[in-house]
Amino acid sequence: MDWLKELGRRIEMLLHRRQFSADLDEEMQLHLELRKQEQMERGMAPNKAHSTARRRFGNVTGIKEKSHMSWGWDWFEQLMQDVSYGVRGMLRSPGLTIVALLSLALGIGANTAIFSLMDAVMLRSLPVKDPGQLVLLGDGSEIGITDDFPNTALYSYPFYRQMQKKNAVFSDVAAVFSMRSDLHGSVEGHSETEPMAVQLVSGSYFPVLGVHAMMGRTLTEEDDQTKDGSPVAVVSYTWWTRSLARDPDVLHKKLRIGSTLFTIVGVAPAEFFGTKVGESPDIWIPLSMQKEIPPYFDAYSDNFGETLDVIGRLKPDVNMAQATANVNLLYQQILRGFPNAHMDQKSLEALKNTHVALTPMAKGLSDLRGQYSEPLKILMGVVGLVLLIACANIANLLLARSTARAREFAVRQALGARRSRLIRQLLTESLTLALAGGALGVAFAVGATHFLLRMISGGTETVPLDVSINIRLLLFTLGITLITALLFGTIPALRATQLDLTESLKDGRGPASGATKSPLARALVISQVAFSLVLLVGAGLFLRTLINLDNVNTGFNKENVLRLQTDTSSIGYKDDDPRMTQLYQQIEDRVRALPGVRAASYSSFTFDEGSWSGSIWVEGFNNNKDVNVPHNVVGADYFATMGIPLLAGRTFGPQDFGTNSPKVAVISETMARTMFPKGSAIGSHYGMDGPKHSGDVEVIGIVKDTKFQHLDEAPTTLDYLPYTEHPMYLEDFEVRYTGDFSAISSAVQTAIHGVSPNLQISDVTTLEEQVGRSITSQRLVAQLSTFFGLLAVFLSCIGIYGLMSYVVSRRTNEIGIRMALGAGRSNVRWLVMREILQLVAVGVAIGIPVALAGGHWIANMLYGLKATDPMSLAVAVVAMLLVAVVAGYLPARRASRVEPMVALRCQ
């Protein structure tokens, strides 16, 4: 604690340093006078006494300085001096300062913004107890439900329970439903329904995470014992704020979801957003209630209703290898023990070869992470390069300025200033500039981050990610700011102080120094051009990838289709409600009758909405159950609505949608080709749920392949089933229309509400927009890399312009002589342009191999072209040359306008 008190005294001295100086002066003065007096009393003459006193005292100024330094603040005072000197210097050349500050703010701000997204999506740990101990079974790569055997991505509830009971490596195990249920419900007593994002979790979920309720209690094992037994809910802090305005009486409220009333038992802490980054549920409900929550899965006691992510908390002394061994042993045991396991030879073989990998869960799960890790890393690289280019620019500006200050430094060095002291001063000036730029950059980043978040979100709602400014972020920004200052400040500082004293003093701006080739400044401009070229090539590749994806043939006609979602849970219909298919049909009929509507249909999916898939058995075909086919459950008009061409047979008609209609299916051409004997698909039968059912469904038609999950997927097997055959909860409703979207949109919504006044409608948009959302990450990369590529080129232009203006102004004299000797204006112009072209040519020559070498980093983010695409390269090179010529033209023209007489006189 002594050092703390000492620091306190030092700071006190700093704050009252005038007083301390005056005190010291006074006591030293007293000392001198007393000594003089004493000498005089001994009979010495006054002036002799005076000099004796001084002699005995020593060097007054030196002692004062020594006393002053003993307080340890001299560095600080010098720093303040340097800072204020630097600021005054910058204010004297406002143009330069503004350019420098703006490029710094953009460079640092862009880095901060991209980093804050990276931090939120990829780097930050979950706000739970000891996140490092959490592991996930499998890799969390699938969502939804499957009966696949053996599967390591999703697990059934009975499996979770057995794992929890039998394992020896986890202190406890939790399970969480692999998707969020977005539904509409109401607070009891409120007449309006509102959107609610519900997450089903096991009773052990909160205890395993070590998350305690901010108010009330969290869910516990007692809530997760019997099916439908515990209608309770924990709400998020955000939901409590948004929907209940932080009503302190929240624990006495109930939620109505469908026909069930849930009692709110607790509010989760503000920082807790669940275990999936970017999903932030509003409400947590125990898995025991899953039958009441859309999609109404009834998998609570189904050994192969695999819907869950399973999370374990490692015991403190257990490592990953031990845990993996134990989990795999149990995985085999538990699956074999299920009585309804399909234990033929083939499945046993498959099970034996299946290995469950454990994934660290410290950062939570995230679908965003898979989608954006790579784009964010690429963008981080891009903005890093932009910042480097900005640094090169500022370094060049400072170099030019320090040449102008050569005389000042020469004088100071001649007067005894040490070189290290001057370098320190110049670095302090750079640092001041960088810090000011960094502060502006943070302000810029706050806006940019929210802009980026909107771009990522794609849909109507912003992804709930916490991208607010935090300490980590500020440290990152401070870090890059310091690095930036060193990068652009060091070389000019070293150069400026490295002087031939006599030369500089003799003539601060003689022709000799003016004609110096300044190889350093040239090298900086060349590297700017090279980096810019790399960024331009990248931007070109990403843009063309985006265009290629936009032009992919989807197999359906995405134009003139309106799509929206309805939520039948908002009117209390459950999965098996017979009224549901009637409702779909009524809505289809009502909408179809609207003017301007060509066709309308419900479906379980359109595009990029996940899938429901399962095994099929084809009659009379020695098939096996490894064939996993995605199903789309649709209305009669689906093919007309989506514009999917029929290839053979017929599509659905009203006769297929009766209560006793024979079971039929329409299949994709790939399915017809790969799963049925050649040419025989129409009229063949197949079935689900085992070989016994292989005669269930008749194939009545074959349609063209469509893209189903991604634009870049290979042609896929897919079958279409009438929704009367598979009554289920459908959300998607599509309308093919002609005319004005907004008019149709409101007519359709009115028609739906005419059928069912309280049915909640959401996400009304076009099919085209929905397809566009599936390439949000590609669009983000293409747009941002283009923006930053152009910014880089612009900065390089400033660099070229600045350097050439400087060179021209230094060579005015030479140009004057040339002109006096008869050189024409065009000659002079060419003289300057030639130099620029040389610089750019060297930059381009360096940039091309760098761009080609860097290509493999982005190869798997491209579609329809290679990283070595000659077209993109050529366009970038030409663009770079053109822009450079424009930037160089102004100084060249200025050079050609030099009046020989004026030029000669000005020396």
Please state the closest distance from residue 386 (CB atom) to another protein, in A.
Answer: 48
Please state the closest distance from residue 21 (CB atom) to another protein, in A.
Answer: 11
Instruction: Kindly state the number of chain residues that form the binding site for another protein, as judged by CB under 8 A.
Output: 28
Cβ proximity to another protein: between 28 and 817 the closer is: 28
Cβ proximity to another protein: between 75 and 451 the closer is: 75
Please state the closest distance from residue 418 (CB atom) to another protein, in A.
Answer: 23
Q: Which helix (H) or strand (E) holds 456?
A: helix 419-457
Cβ proximity to another protein: between 10 and 704 the closer is: 10
| Extended strands (E) in 746-861 | 760-766
Please state the closest distance from residue 79 (CB atom) to another protein, in A.
Answer: 20
26 is written with which tokens?
Answer: 């006074």
Cβ proximity to another protein: between 62 and 870 the closer is: 62
Please state the closest distance from residue 30 (CB atom) to another protein, in A.
Answer: 6
DSSP code, position 689: S
Please state the closest distance from residue 462 (CB atom) to another protein, in A.
Answer: 55
> Judged by CB under 8 A, does residue 70 bind another protein?
yes
Question: Which CB contacts under 8 angstroms, 24+ apart, belong to 816-825?
Answer: 816/898, 816/899, 816/900, 816/901, 816/902, 816/903, 816/904, 817/900, 817/903, 817/904, 819/898, 819/900, 819/903, 820/900, 820/904, 825/896, 825/897
Interface stretch with another protein, choices 63-71, 289-297, 600-608, 792-800 (CB under 8 A): 63-71
762 is written with which tokens?
Answer: 């959401």
Cβ proximity to another protein: between 66 and 856 the closer is: 66
Phi, psi values for residue 805, rounded to 5°: -60, -40
Please state the closest distance from residue 38 (CB atom) to another protein, in A.
Answer: 8
Rounded-to-integer distance, Cα 648 and Cα 701, Å: 6
Cβ proximity to another protein: between 56 and 246 the closer is: 56
DSSP 477-508: HHHHHHHHHHHHHHHHHHHHH---HHHHHH-T
Map residues 646-675 to x or -, x wherever contact with another protein holds by CB under 8 A.
Answer: ------------------------------
834 is written with which tokens?
Answer: 């030639």
> Judged by CB under 8 A, does residue 404 bind another protein?
no
Q: At 352, which amino acid appears?
A: K
Distinct helix (H) and strand (E) counts, the chain: 28, 23
CA–centroid distance for 128 within its chain: 22
> Judged by CB under 8 A, does residue 63 bind another protein?
yes
Please state the closest distance from residue 35 (CB atom) to another protein, in A.
Answer: 7
Cβ proximity to another protein: between 34 and 98 the closer is: 34
Rounded-to-integer distance, Cα 336 and Cα 281, Å: 35
- Report in angstroms the alpha-carbon separations of 723 from 508, 587, 687, 695: 88, 14, 16, 19
Cβ proximity to another protein: between 48 and 905 the closer is: 48
Cβ proximity to another protein: between 38 and 222 the closer is: 38
Cβ proximity to another protein: between 26 and 298 the closer is: 26
Rounded-to-integer distance, Cα 31 and Cα 25, Å: 10
Q: Which of 66, 355, 454, 825 binds another protein (CB under 8 A)?
A: 66
Cβ atoms of residues 570 and 184 within 8 Å: yes
Cβ proximity to another protein: between 12 and 130 the closer is: 12
- Classified as helix, coil or strand, 647 is strand
Cβ proximity to another protein: between 13 and 102 the closer is: 13
DSSP 340-369: T----HHHHHHHHT--PPEEE-TT-B-HHH
Closest CA to 700 of 625, 636, 642, 643: 636
Cβ proximity to another protein: between 14 and 446 the closer is: 14
Please state the closest distance from residue 92 (CB atom) to another protein, in A.
Answer: 38
Closest CA to 580 of 294, 299, 302: 294
Please state the closest distance from residue 48 (CB atom) to another protein, in A.
Answer: 17
Map residues 38-57 to x or -, x wherever contact with another protein holds by CB under 8 A.
Answer: ------------------xx
Q: At 590, which amino acid appears?
A: R
Cβ proximity to another protein: between 9 and 472 the closer is: 9
Q: Which of 15, 45, 48, 67 binds another protein (CB under 8 A)?
A: 67
Map residues 72-111 to x or -, x wherever contact with another protein holds by CB under 8 A.
Answer: x---------------------------------------
Closest CA to 149 of 328, 355, 345, 335: 335
Residues 870-889 close enough to bind another protein by CB under 8 A: none
Please state the closest distance from residue 19 (CB atom) to another protein, in A.
Answer: 11
Interface stretch with another protein, choices 60-68, 87-95, 517-525, 835-843 (CB under 8 A): 60-68
Q: Which of 14, 50, 71, 172 binds another protein (CB under 8 A)?
A: 71
Phi, psi values for residue 874, rounded to 5°: -60, -45
Interface stretch with another protein, choices 61-69, 233-241, 447-455, 845-853 (CB under 8 A): 61-69
Please state the closest distance from residue 80 (CB atom) to another protein, in A.
Answer: 21
300 is written with which tokens?
Answer: 């609570």
- Report in angstroms the alpha-carbon separations of 472 from 322, 475, 889: 34, 5, 45
Please state the closest distance from residue 374 (CB atom) to another protein, in A.
Answer: 56
Cβ proximity to another protein: between 56 and 346 the closer is: 56
- Report in angstroms the alpha-carbon separations of 118 from 110, 377, 379, 518: 12, 8, 10, 40
Cβ proximity to another protein: between 22 and 647 the closer is: 22
Q: Which of 11, 15, 22, 60 binds another protein (CB under 8 A)?
A: 60
End-to-end Cα, the chain, rounded Å: 66
Cβ proximity to another protein: between 56 and 834 the closer is: 56
Q: At 512, which amino acid appears?
A: A
Burial readout 580-602 (b: 16 or more C-beta within 10 A, e: otherwise)? bbebbbbbbebbbeeeebebbbb
Please state the closest distance from residue 508 (CB atom) to another protein, in A.
Answer: 41
CA pseudo-torsion sign 307, 312, 318, 320: positive
Please state the closest distance from residue 60 (CB atom) to another protein, in A.
Answer: 7
Please state the closest distance from residue 25 (CB atom) to another protein, in A.
Answer: 10
Rounded-to-integer distance, Cα 112 and Cα 101, Å: 16
Map residues 2-31 to x or -, x wherever contact with another protein holds by CB under 8 A.
Answer: x--xx--xx--x---------xx-xxx-xx
- Classified as helix, coil or strand, 130 is coil
Please state the closest distance from residue 884 (CB atom) to another protein, in A.
Answer: 60
Contact positions toward another protein, by CB under 8 A?
2, 5-6, 9-10, 13, 23-24, 26-28, 30-31, 34-35, 56-60, 62-63, 66-67, 69-72
